[in-house]
Chains A and B, each alone.
Chain A
Amino acid sequence: MKNTYIQDVTLRDGMHAIKHQYGKEKVREIALALDRAKVDAIEISHGDGLKGGSFNYGFGAHTDWDWLDGIADELKHAKLTTLLLPGIGTIEDLKRARDLGVTSVRIATHCTEADISKQHIEAAKKMDMDVGGFLMMAHMNDPNNLATEAKKMESYGADCVYVTDSAGALLMDGVVDRIKAFRQILKDDTEIGIHCHHNLSLGVANTIVAHQAGANRMDASLAGMGAGAGNAPLEVLIAVLKKMNIHPNCDLFQLMDLADDVIRPLQERPVRVDRETLSLGYAGVYSSFLLHSERAAEKYGLDTRTILNELGKRKMVGGQEDMIVDVALDLVKNNGSNP
C-alpha cells in the first residue's frame, strides 16, 4: 500500500457551498492553517475548476489567479493543487496555475469520457506536475467500465486515478467494487484516490472502505465544506484514521478548531444532510446542482426535490447547470409535477 495521502478540498469543493465567494485573505488564512495541521495537499480553485467562473456555475469573488497568488511560497508542508475540467478550463489556464506555484492537478471528466482528458494530462505531465485523473459521477458507470476509463487516464500519464462520487450516491459496496476493479487493472505504481460526498451520510464510511480496498489518496474538507451535503469531513476522517492507527501526521485538534471556528461561520446555507441534499444522493444528481436548483425552485415556485428528481431522470451530468432552469420551466408547464 502506498503512503496515505490526504487532500483537502475546502478551498475548491467548498467554493460551491458559498457560491464561490471566499475572500482572498480567507483563502490564505485557511490554506496556511491546513498546512500547519499537516494535510498533504491543498486544492484551490473555483468549485468547477480553473476558469469555472461563469453565469452557468456562478462567478467567483476573485479569479483563480488571485486566490492562488502567493500561497505556494508560504506552504511549508502541503502541496498546492488545483482542478481542471476539460471543456471549461484549458491548458493555458493550467500553465498559469503552474506559474503561481501549483505542482499537482486533477483533470476531471465524466465517468465515461476519459479520452477528453488526454491533451490535459499529457500537458500537465510535461510541466512536471503530479497528475490525478478524476472520474466524476462514478455511480453512473459500472466498476469494470469505470476501470477501463481509469486505465485510459493512466495511459495518458496520470499518477493517480480517483473514484469521484460527485452525487454522493454510491453505497459502500459500490465504492469497494470500483476500487477493486481499479486495483486489478491499473499498474502497481499507479495510485488510487477516493472523493466522496456526504449526501447519504456515507462520506467517511465510503472513504474508509475505499482505503481498505486499496485507495491511498483521500479527499476531505473541513466541516465537510463542499457541494451538496459536503465531502467527507476532514476532522472526522482524521479522527477515524487515527483510531485505526493510520496517518498520525495531521493535527486533529487544530482541524477541529478550524472546522468549528473558521469554516462553519462561513456557511450561509448549512452544509448538512437535509431533505434537499439527501435528495441529491437519492436521485444520483451532481452535488453542485444544489444551490442552483434551490434558486430555480424559489424563482419558479417549485419544490427543489422535484427539480432534482427530474434532473436525475434526464441523466444530466456535471456541468449541465444550464439545464436546471430548463427543467424548472418544463415543470412549470406541467403545473409543478414531473412530466
Chain B
Amino acid sequence: MSKRKVAIIGSGNIGTDLMIKIMRNSELLEMGILVGIDPASDGLARAERMGVATTAKGMDGLIELPIWNEIELVFDATSAKAHAHHHSLVEKFPSKRIIDLTPAAIGPYLVPVVNFSEHGDLQNVNMVTCGGQATIPIVAAVSKIAKVHYGEIVASIASKSAGPGTRANIDEFTETTAQAIEKVGGADKGKAIIVLNPAEPPMVMRDTVFTLSEVCDQDAIRKSIHEMVESVQKYVPGYTLHQEVQFEIIPEDQAVFIEGLGHRHGLKTTVLLQVKGAGHYLPEYAGNLDIMTSAALATGERMVSLQNA
C-alpha cells in the first residue's frame, strides 16, 4: 500500500515539527505540501530545503493547486479562528479528513490512546491541547478503575517552547483542556492550569495530574496508570512517570470544597510526569510540542490503518 499524501496547514512550530516527524518516522503518511501565509516563515524555508512543496497562499490557495486532488489528510496547525474557515473548505470534499491541532474543537476531542475507536472514522477530529494529550490518558487510566469526581492538571512548559499563538490564547488552553478532562478523561469536573517557566537552560515539560476518586484498590490504579504510560510511550518515547504514583485518603470529615461539585472526599491520586521531546524542530525541552504533533501523527496513521483494514 503506497503512503497517503497529507497537507499541513500552518508553518509555525507545530506544523514544522509535524512535517519533520512525518518525513522521518511515518510508514503510512507522506508530505504532500506545507501551507503557510507568510512567505518569509522559517517553516516554509525549512520545507523547501527538505524538498517539500509549499505555498504561502493559505488553505484557499491550496485547494486551487493540482496537488489538492492527491491530499487525503489535512493537519490544521493554525488557530481556532482560522480553523473554522479551513473546516468549511474541507467539508466539501467528503473523502478528505481533517485533524485539528487548534483549540477550535469543531470535531470531538480525540486522545489516541483513550478514544480513537469512538471517533476515528469522523471527518474532523480535534487534538485538545498539548497539556491535554499529556494528562488526559492518566485521568482516563484512573477512570477505568474508579469513579473520578475531579481531575486537575498542571502543565509547566519552558517559555521558549510557547509560541505567539499559545501566548495570545492562554484561556483557550485552560478552557479546552478542562472540558476534555471531563469528556475524554471521564471526570465529573475538570480543571487545567498552565505555567510558563523561563529558566535557562530551558526546563523539560512537566505535567502533574491530580484526581479525586472513589476509594478503591490503589494497586489497581497504579497498574492502570503504568499501563497507560506504556501505551503513550509507543508514540511519545519521552513520556515518563517522573515519580512513583502518590496516594492520599481524604476522609469525609476533611472533605475538600470543589467549585461546581461541592464537598468531596475519597482517594487523591497524584501523578508527576515528564515529557521530553524528540528534538525534531525544537530541542528536547519542548515536550509540549512533541506530544501534540506525535498524537496528531498517531491519529492520522490510525485513520489510514482503519481505512486499509
Chain A interfacial positions (CB closer than 8 Å to B) = 51, 53-56, 59-63, 86-88, 90-92, 110, 112-113, 115-116, 118-120, 314-323, 325-326, 329-330
Contacts and interface: CB of A to CB of B under 8 A. Distances in A.
B170 A87 contact: yes
A90 B172 CA distance: 9
Given A87-B193, A87-B194, A119-B169, A326 B272 contact: yes
A317 B246 contact: no
9 contacts: A87-B193, A113-B167, A314-B199, A317-B199, A320-B195, A322-B154, A322-B272, A323-B208, A326-B272
B13 interface: no
Contacts of B156: 319-320, 322-323
A59 B261 CA distance: 12
B259 interface: yes
Most A C-beta atoms less than 10 A away, residue of B156, B212, B259 = B259
B208 A56 contact: yes
Contact of B170 (A59, A119, A329): A119
A215 to B, nearest CB: 24
What's the dominant secondary structure at chain A's contact region? loop
A116 B164 CA distance: 9
Nearest to B199: A315
Closest A-B pairs by Cβ, 10 of them:
A322-B208, A315-B199, A55-B210, A319-B195, A90-B171, A112-B198, A87-B194, A59-B256, A86-B170, A329-B243
B195 A53 contact: no
Query: What is the interface residue range for chain B against chain A?
Result: 35 or more
B197 A56 contact: no
B268 interface: yes
Given A325-B272, A326-B242, A88 B193 contact: yes
Interface string B207-251: 010101000000000000000000000000000001110100000
Contacts, number: 109
Interface string B173-206: 1110000000000000001011111110001001
B152 A55 contact: yes
Contact of A88 (B174, B203, B259): B174
B185 to A, nearest CB: 15
B84 interface: no
Contacts of B168: 115, 118-119
A138 to B, nearest CB: 13
Nearest to B175: A90
B129 interface: no
Interface string B133-173: 00000000000000000001010100100001001111101
A87 B174 contact: yes
Given A90-B175, A316-B197, A319-B193, A54 B243 contact: no
